[in-house]
Amino acid sequence: MAGIKSLGQQQVVILSLLALILAQAQAQPQGCSTQLSNLNSCAPFVLPGATNPSPECCGALGAVQQDCLCSTLRIASTLPSLCQLPTLSCGSN
């Protein structure tokens, strides 16, 4: 629990979204779920202030089929409204 408290609120939200995306992937064909679970190596690189992604992350991302990734992103984009939260509005930075 102490580890979670030391994370910033934004980091907890990002990691929670990653967990939800992976859980949603279970509803998709097994291949997609496996591809997305390999993206765990990318988790450190989606946090604010992160450095460039590792070769492992880039390899895992390159191995995800486009329809799997797009479907997962569509699912993730609906999560705020399903949780009755405001729609995300992300700036260009």
pLDDT at position 8 over 70: no
pLDDT at position 79 over 50: yes
Give the Cα separation of 65 and 72 in Å (integer): 11
Task: Using the structure block, give the residue that is written with the tokens 């995800």.
Answer: 64
Of 8, 83, 90, 91, the closest CA to residue 49 belongs to 8
Kindly report the pTM of this predicted structure.
0.57
Please name the amino acid found at residue 78.
T
Give the Cα separation of 70 and 55 in Å (integer): 22
Three-state DSSP class for residue 56: helix
Token representation of residue 81: 């409204």
